[in-house]
Chains A and B, each alone.
Chain A
Amino acid sequence: MKTRREFLKSTVTAVAAGWTLPSFIHQTAWSIERSHIASGLQAATGRDNPILVILQLGGGNDGLNTVVPFAHDAYYTARPNLAVKASSVLKLGDEFGLNPALSGIKSLYDSGNAAIINGVGYPNPNRSHFRSMEIWHTASDSNKNEHYGWLGNYFDNTCQGSPEPSNGISIGNNPPQAFHGKKQIGISMTSPKSYQFIEDEPTPDGNSETMTGDSINELNGSAPAEDSLQNLDFLRRTTMDAEVSSETIHTMTKAQKNTISYPQTKLGRDLSLVAQLIAGGMPTRVYYVNHGGFDTHANQQGTHTRLITEFSNAVSAFCSDLKKMGHFDRVLMMSFSEFGRRVKENGSRGTDHGVAGPTFLFGGNLKGGCYGKYPSLTDLTKGDLKHNTDFRSIYSTILDGWLKTNSQSILKRKFPHMSFI
């Protein structure tokens, strides 16, 4: 038996050259990195650009217990254990209102900073979390599979020349499928402090430090498409994006502090980070934040109340912070879930996968109010609500009206605009 040392020694003189040649000669990441950093910093002058923040409520939020149809007996018949009492509902008219846990959102609504769109969905709904999430991320028809995300298409369309990796930032470990474009997939981060290569000088204290690990019910859509790009090239590109963006983020966020304190929840921390990045003047056009755990098949009440309370409190802190920092007018936030839930509760005091649900929009520069039509509780399809607004109408309104781009080239056809912008 050879000793370890002898063994290692015997391998030194063996042929060391690669046994496969790179199948695809790629420009080396290292050589173009520096010029890229410079261009990233120059692009970062977009302090006036409109910003979109997407808040994903993963798992299928129970729309009926979020925007409650308190005037309808059918709701109370279908949900003997789970219905929200009419007397406690924060009313938005005679027919429906907000769950009492959403008091922060009610204030935003009252000040004209929230739009609520009822009955949002798409034709031939799919009740799989993963498939339905993919449909929302790629804006595809439910019978078609698309690789690229609607925001990825937007990045590809808008950015001429070299792609700017921090066009899209998602908070967490992975960029959502919505960000996947042909040229780029955006970057993802959990905190500015951990978002730097160790060779660089660490920033002094002061930035908030968020840790991942409790990725409850993360739904990112499909993994990046394994297209013609080889895995090694994909790794080189991502390394380069990381090098470039970590420099930018450090320059931009060095002295940024939130103006108010956020709830000590994962969502609170994530949104406080987004506010810092916005205030720091990042060139980022779209931020993506996750709030998961909505798949409430059993014992729904406690979990759902906690989740929407966290949602309401974090969103309202975020909006106040942006207002104080003077950025609220250029931010539009949209929250959505991949589907709503079945009208009738199940035997485990929970609800199974359903179809249509409400979508919320927040911002300093939108036309607040209620949009769409509350779906009928008696005219159902297989026990599910019927949608009356295609989510892609919301996307097209945002793309054309807010991001000032051409929605048709991104969504591949025309969807009627709504009037919330």
Chain B
Amino acid sequence: MLNVLSRSQWSSQHAAHLISRAGFGGSPEDISQLSKLPMDQAVRRIVHYEDQPDYGKDPEWTRLDGSNLKQLKEIRKLPEKERREKFKELRRESRRNLASLKSWWLDRMLKSNRPLEEKMTLFWHGHFVSSSDKVKNALMLWQQNRLLREKSTGNFEDLTVAIGRDPAMLVYLDGSGSKKAAPNENYARELMELFTLGEGNYTEEDIKEAARAFTGWNVRRFQGKAKFNQRNFDSKEKSFFGQSGNYKDSDIVAIIFEQDRAAEYIAHKLWEFFAYKNPEQEIVSSLAETLRNNKYELKPVLEEMFTSKAFYSQKAMRTQIKSPIMWFASLSRLLDLSPIPSRASTQMLAQLGQDLFNPPSVKGWDGGRAWISTTTLIMRNNLAHLMVFGGNPNKLGIGAANRLKNIPQNILDDMSEEQKKRLEIVQKRSSKRNIPSLFKDFDLLDLWESESEANRLNLLSNTVYNSSLRAQSLAEIRSESEEFLRNPKAQGLKSTLYQMIAHPEFQLC
């Protein structure tokens, strides 16, 4: 077991850290509430979230009533030209659904009463990756998201077996259609390389043998279902990690989970996701032992992490680079961003490198410093500027008109003439449109007006950084904002606020 943080050390800074890593951050009020609980109770409340009510409803279109299957049968009977049009329409619908799915999830992440459930779902989405670019089916991606959420803090081995039979995964890593005559190795390789053991902890032979155990599956795209067909399954003997038997998929997973490396691999990844990169070996070993002792149940290991002294060490606190989602969540809390069309929000995330349901590769998002480059930093600052002051996004190449200009050919092909005309109109209109400032925290403005110049900086620093801004950064912001601090009007507040969120330190949580 890792050393536990002593109860007496628990403070509001610790509570802020917990909620920003195990969730998506919190308002000063949330943090103050959490910090009033004893540390172990605060952690319990985060990890054992089942008694908190679930948030929101499933998207309308995910309710399958069998009518889509009937529809497919009818479409198949149509003459070719009409059939093509119908398929175009279905593809358009699926794209619309995908866009709605992204917003639906972002909304959950920002508002769920069970932040860890969403944070872990996001962790698994970046771990057991399936991307819309290849899967091209919103229904299956939603089903996968539901599976990841259901088992997000359950049992890692169960989840690994289940994901191998998940329709979106079967499509993404080519398990669908893999037959005994010539098995497809894609899934077997990534299962070991990226999902469970890590590169170098298996042989090329292990991959070839495991691939045989994953044959027999086929995905029915319209129903979003995976079907197993015994005839296509290679039921013969396989030898895997020095053992042999007539293994099927779950047997292969069970053997993988017998390897010591399996627990270490995921422990390492969890620590990097929640605390910091390159953890000490003692930390990884301790978490791995907890995983093995609990047969890969995740809650004990999560509790161990969140109560450990190391999790609240200087190395961990306010040192993690915010992902685009975390960055957006913190801005969203500062400025009430709910009136931004949610579609614009998810597209903004995509531009910053975190396109939900569409990670860049099977390895997911690298996270950490990989989120930051000169171009993404400029974009983060510009987007923040637009939200605080308003302005024309298209002048900076970040608005709707630019996006519309670069619609991929395959999507244009699926559009009707009427839709293309409408698109042109939207394009023209949006290239000139200014968005208004989204700042409307009038409570904060009242305070700004009534506070002394000296206190104004503290007021904002407390609101934006929960008083945890480093002294040097605060001094830098003060010197950049001297003139604004003297201005009791909204412009002074907004300008100082922008200095706060444009500072490199805002990129950390």
Contact = CB atoms under 8 A, between A and B. Distances in A.
Interface of A: 3-5, 7-9, 11-23, 25, 28-30, 126-131, 165, 172-175, 187-191, 193-199, 202, 209-220, 222-224, 226, 230-232, 234-236, 238-239, 241-242, 245-246, 264-265, 269, 295, 297-298, 345-348, 350, 352-353, 382
A236 B508 CA distance: 12
A238 B373 contact: yes
Contacts of B286: none
Interface residues of B toward A: which range?
35 or more
Sorted nearest first, the 3 A-B pairs with minimum C-beta distance are: A347-B182, A194-B397, A223-B370
B425 interface: no
A129 B360 CA distance: 13
Given A189-B374, A297-B186, A350-B174, A22 B396 contact: no
B200 to A, nearest CB: 8
Contact of A173 (B178, B373, B463, B476): B373
Contacts of B375: 172-173, 187-190, 194-195, 242
Interface stretch (B144-152, B303-311, B440-448): B440-448
Nearest to A303: B134
Given A191-B397, A195-B375, A347-B179, A214 B366 contact: no
Contact of A348 (B178, B362, B369): B178
B46 interface: no
B458 A16 contact: yes
Given A211-B403, A348-B177, A12 B459 contact: yes
A209 B377 contact: no
Interface string B241-256: 0000000000000000
Given A174-B373, A347-B177, 20 more contacts: A12-B459, A16-B462, A18-B469, A30-B480, A173-B352, A174-B353, A197-B378, A198-B386, A209-B406, A213-B347, A215-B360, A216-B360, A218-B360, A231-B369, A231-B508, A238-B504, A245-B374, A264-B409, A297-B173, A297-B174
Interface of B: 13, 28-29, 32, 133, 173-174, 177-179, 181-186, 189, 193, 199, 204, 277-278, 314, 317-321, 347, 350-353, 355, 360-363, 366-370, 372-379, 381-382, 385-386, 391, 395-398, 402-403, 405-406, 408-409, 443-444, 446-447, 451, 455, 457-459, 461-463, 467-474, 476, 480, 504-505, 507-508
Q: Is the interface of A mostly helix, strand, loop or mixed?
A: loop
Contacts of B353: 173-174, 212, 215
Select the residue from A4, A127, A194, A220 with max chain B CB neighbours within 10 A: A194
Contacts of A127: 189, 204
Given A8-B463, A16-B467, A20-B470, A235 B372 contact: yes
Nearest to A58: B361
Nearest to B215: A347
A366 B468 CA distance: 57
Contacts of A222: 366
Nearest to A384: B204
A216 B379 CA distance: 20
A8 B186 contact: no
A28 B476 contact: yes
B381 A198 contact: yes
Contacts of A4: 29, 443
B467 A11 contact: yes
Contacts of B504: 29, 232, 235-236, 238-239
28 contacts: A5-B447, A15-B467, A16-B458, A16-B467, A19-B468, A21-B472, A22-B470, A174-B370, A188-B375, A189-B374, A190-B375, A194-B397, A195-B375, A209-B406, A211-B351, A212-B350, A213-B351, A219-B360, A222-B366, A231-B320, A235-B504, A235-B508, A246-B374, A246-B378, A264-B409, A348-B174, A348-B184, A382-B204
Contact of A23 (B199, B314, B459): B314
A52 B366 CA distance: 27
Contact of B470 (A21, A130, A195): A21
Given A9-B447, A165-B374, A218 B467 contact: no
A191 B399 CA distance: 13
Contacts of B469: 16, 18
A194 B314 CA distance: 36
A396 B503 CA distance: 41
A196 to B, nearest CB: 7
Contacts of B370: 174, 220, 223-224
Contacts, number: 257
A238 B374 contact: yes
B455 to A, nearest CB: 5
Contact of A196 (B29, B204, B396, B471): B396
Nearest to A345: B182
B372 A234 contact: yes
A194 B395 CA distance: 8
Contacts of B183: 346-347
A130 B350 CA distance: 22
B355 A215 contact: yes
A7 B406 contact: no
A352 B347 CA distance: 33
Contacts of B347: 213
Nearest to A224: B369
Nearest to A134: B199
Contact of A188 (B204, B373, B409, B474): B373
A194 B472 CA distance: 30
Given A8-B28, A187-B375, A224-B370, A193 B178 contact: no
Select the residue from B395, B455, B457 with max chain A CB neighbours within 10 A: B395
A341 to B, nearest CB: 11
Contact of B385 (A195, A198, A232): A198
A193 B193 CA distance: 40
A9 B183 CA distance: 66
Contacts of B409: 264-265
A239 B366 contact: no
Given A187-B375, A188-B375, A234 B369 contact: yes
